[in-house]
Structure 1
Amino acid sequence: MKMLTETFYVTGGFDDAHQAADGYFESHPGFVRVRSNPVGESRYSGGFRFPNITIPRGAVVQSAKLRLHVTYMDDVNCEMYGNNVDNAEDFSVDPQIISRPVTMAHAPFVKDDLGAMAWVEVSGLEAIIQEIVNRTGWTSGNAIVLLLMANSDVDRFCQFWSYENSPTDAAQLEITYITGVMYNLSIQVNDVLGGYTSPEVG
């Protein structure tokens, strides 16, 4: 049994993007917009892709943290999911955020005043990552996409620097996991139930 901590990175311009609830999509603006709003055309969800996740199938995920660099807009109100596929495509091959299949596991990311021009860390994403690496088609080296699906209750506006602004400002994903143990098959719900598609379709 061995515990490892690894950090994975957005590595290209098509590895981060945002999309409005009415379908408008962008992947090269220099930032990723996440805006909650009751009006669909004003509501934006974001996505970040991390290639070459070198975690074996069935590893036990102990912690998972997303690090993001905030711009000047720092009020966030969204729910975080994983793209529930074996090997997530980048946003040039699949230019969608709101219609990608998502994990059953999710985590809230709701906070005003994150801190303009500051790095923030979103923890508590273990169940999302666990669900993906438990998939029957998961293989070490595959890619994971995390989706920040904007809520529709109130108007809150946040932006994070993207790879295009500077590779050093791009999102990071830190995962701590254990290998070499027999994993409890009873919680591999994704193998039985599969994912579902986000209700954020318009």
Structure 2
Amino acid sequence: MLGRIIPLLFILSFINAQIALPTFQAVHKPHTAEAEALCASTSTLEVRVSAGNDDAEEAEGGSMYRNSSDLELVYDTWSNQNSQEVGMRFLNVTIAQGKEIKNAYIRFTADETSSSSVTVTIHGEDIDDAAQFGSNSNNISSRTKTSASVDWTPDAWSSTGATHDSPDLTTIAQEIINRSSWSSGNDMVFIVTGTGTGKRTAESYDGSSSKAPLLHIEYCTP
């Protein structure tokens, strides 16, 4: 029996020697732009409306009001303005073109209390460097809006002077920052629209410059 096993082992050893075993080579993946896009850290920018003509209301008929003591979002019974559009311009947004936005919102300060049901829609102006609001009719509604928008159904505003933050506006800010001709230091406009007779009334620059709408943006650096 042993005499049969030894030749068999010899044959198996010979066969194994003729078979090339597979070899394995480590693959190095190149450093990609996608990997570079990951945030090393974040920075925060806050910009408040800083001039009377940088927040404005446009009445339902198109008339412009740039010196109101408050901003009705968006129904206003004064002078039959009805469902209006509200614009806010934030100067010197020092974020480089294409930077990744991680969070963005607008902080409002309540000028009046209100608990009526209201839903508004927030857009940005789809432009590289937004201009100040003019006195000509339809100066807000005639501006090209971003394709991105955010709906907001705010809670009751039960205390004057309290602050209230919009929902996350990252998609809007990112659309503007991604424009090919956007440059750090350009100006950015947000527009609030809505329907119905509900409202929330916020401070304007002319009502209280220190409580005017505040834009908060967090973005990737470097």
Any stretches of 5+ residues in structure 1 without a counterpart? 181-202
Question: Residue 21 of structure 1: which of 38, 60, 66 is its match?
Answer: 60
TM-aligned CA deviation for residue 114 of structure 1: 2.5
The answer on 1:5 being equivalent to 2:48 is: no
8 Å contact kept, 1:63–1:123 = no
Distance 1:166 1:36, change over 3 A: closer
Tell me, in whole angstroms, the C-alpha distance in 2 between the residues paired with 1:86 and 1:17. Answer: 20
Using the TM superposition, name which of 53-62 and 159-168 deviates more: 159-168
Greater share of strand: 1
Q: How does 1:25-104 map to 2 (within 5 A)?
A: 25-36=64-75, 42-74=82-114, 75=116, 76-92=118-134, 96-104=139-147
Question: Residue 219 of structure 2: which of 177, 181, 198 is its match?
Answer: 177
Distance 1:43 1:175, change over 3 A: same
* RMSD of aligned Cα (Å): 2.0
The answer on 1:130 being equivalent to 2:191 is: no
* Identical-pair percentage: 28
Tell me, in whole angstroms, the C-alpha distance in 1 between the residues paired with 2:65 and 2:140. Answer: 10
Question: Residue 193 of structure 2: which of 141, 149, 157 is its match?
Answer: 149
Tell me, in whole angstroms, the C-alpha distance in 1 between the residues paired with 2:58 and 2:47. Answer: 23
- TM-score, normalised to structure 1's length? 0.80
8 Å contact kept, 1:35–1:77 = no
Give deviations 1:14-36, integer Å, cap 9, x for gaps.
11011122102101011112225
Tell me, in whole angstroms, the C-alpha distance in 2 between the residues paired with 1:148 and 1:11. Answer: 18
TM-aligned CA deviation for residue 112 of structure 1: 4.7
Larger radius of gyration: 2
The answer on 1:120 being equivalent to 2:164 is: yes
Distance 1:94 1:60, change over 3 A: farther
The residue type paired with residue 159 of structure 1 is T
Question: Residue 183 of structure 2: which of 113, 128, 139 is its match?
Answer: 139
8 Å contact kept, 2:101–2:219 = yes
- TM-score, normalised to structure 2's length? 0.73
Paired residues, number: 176
Tell me, in whole angstroms, the C-alpha distance in 2 between the residues paired with 1:114 and 1:62. Answer: 27
Question: Residue 148 of structure 2: which of 95, 102, 105 is its match?
Answer: 105
Tell me, in whole angstroms, the C-alpha distance in 1 between the residues paired with 2:159 and 2:83. Answer: 21
8 Å contact kept, 1:48–1:171 = yes
The residue type paired with residue 190 of structure 2 is L
Using the TM superposition, name which of 164-173 and 53-62 deviates more: 164-173
TM-aligned CA deviation for residue 161 of structure 1: 0.8
Q: How does 1:161-200 map to 2 (within 5 A)?
A: 161-180=203-222
SS at match of 2:53: helix
SS at match of 2:153: strand
Give deviations 1:42-93, integer Å, cap 9, x for gaps.
1112111100000000000000011011111534421000011000011138
8 Å contact kept, 1:7–1:175 = yes
8 Å contact kept, 1:21–1:98 = no
The residue type paired with residue 103 of structure 1 is T
